[in-house]
Amino acid sequence: MFSKSPGVVKALLAIRNGDIEQTTAAMQWLTAQPGLPALAMKSIGVTYRIKTPEDAIAALSSLINLTVFGGKQQRQLLFMIDEFQRIGELRPNIISQVNSSLHTVFNAHQTGLQILLTFSFGKKENVDYLLSGELKSRAEPQSIYLDVLSRQEAAEFLAELLDQFRINKEDQRPFFPFTKESVDTMLATIEKKQPLTPRRIMLYSNHIMSEYMINSEKASSEINGIEVFRLLNTDQLGEIDTDFEQSNSQ
């Protein structure tokens, strides 16, 4: 059961021993990163690289086996792949390999493994184009819809989000490091181009705070509306918001 990929056990042992170089090599090997030198592989006791779908299936199956059968009773493992719709950017033969591999892994662990695939789609029907018949026959599709927020709801959401990370709970500024004015500017700027969703608000506010902290000499001060407008009117929007990029390419 545990011998499908003996390299997995050796890689895990290398991580456990605490040696930085061996840990780095083991992580590179487990994630199939290219360019791992033969000397580094030898240091952790593996003799091959994870290259083919079969290699990946064997390695993943070994990790699953070690997880679900690691105690007196079998455990349940939830394996989640977020934003699965991105495989649509791959070549058709690669999409087929991904589907076939997931199907093989699931069939081998039907009692201890649950696979959760999430999609961000405007149309539920698009899922059918990305899943093979075998996967769809085993799926229990569930849809979660997040309504588009109004500006007031979006502002309340951002205030509650920022409050979760606030050290000084006595601070009476609900939007710090933003001001009410800069929040209104941010939401109005976003709403001109895209619907206000929780994910989008998190992406944009994080982008603004990161850029402001890096480039401003007054990083400890509040972010005003002028700064927000400047930081949101750049070509970087497509880099931080893939939905924005896709909608503008259609």
Distance (Å, whole) CA 154 – CA 218: 27
Q: How far is CA 117 from CA 61, 64, 86, 123, 135, in A?
A: 18, 17, 11, 16, 11
For the stretch 43-65, pLDDT in tens is 999 999 999 999 999 999 999 98
Q: What average pLDDT does the chain have?
A: 84
Distance (Å, whole) CA 53 – CA 105: 11
Range in 66-75, 175-184, 230-239 with the lowest mean pLDDT: 230-239
Q: Where are the domains of the chain?
A: 76-144, 151-249
Share of the chain above pLDDT 90, in %: 39
For the stretch 11-53, pLDDT in tens is 999 999 888 999 999 999 999 998 899 999 999 999 999 999 9
State residue 128's pLDDT score. 83
Cα-trace Rg, the chain = 23
CA angle 51, 54, 60 (to 5 degrees): 90
State residue 179's pLDDT score. 93
Instruction: Look at 82 and 156; give whichever has higher pLDDT.
Output: 156
Question: pTM of this prediction?
Answer: 0.59
**Do residues 86 and 77 touch, judged by C-beta distance below 8 A?**
no
Instruction: Look at 79 and 141; give whichever has higher pLDDT.
Output: 79
